[in-house]
Amino acid sequence: MKNKTIERDIYQEFTDKIIEAIEDGKTEHWVMPWHKAKNLEIPVNILSGKAYRGINILSLWIASLNNQFTSNVWGTFNQWALLKENILNTVKNQHK
pLDDT, tens only, 42-94: 999 999 999 999 889 888 888 887 788 888 999 988 999 899 888 776 555 55
Dist CA 89 CA 67 (whole Å) = 13
Stretch among 7-11, 13-17, 26-30 having the lowest mean pLDDT: 26-30
- Contacting residues for 30 by C-beta, under 8 A, at least 6 apart: 22
Confidence (pLDDT) at 41: 87
pTM score of the predicted model: 0.61
Dist CA 19 CA 25 (whole Å) = 10
Q: Per-domain residue ranges for the chain? A: 10-82
Q: Are 68 and 39 in contact (CB under 8 A)?
A: no
68 or 26, higher pLDDT: 68
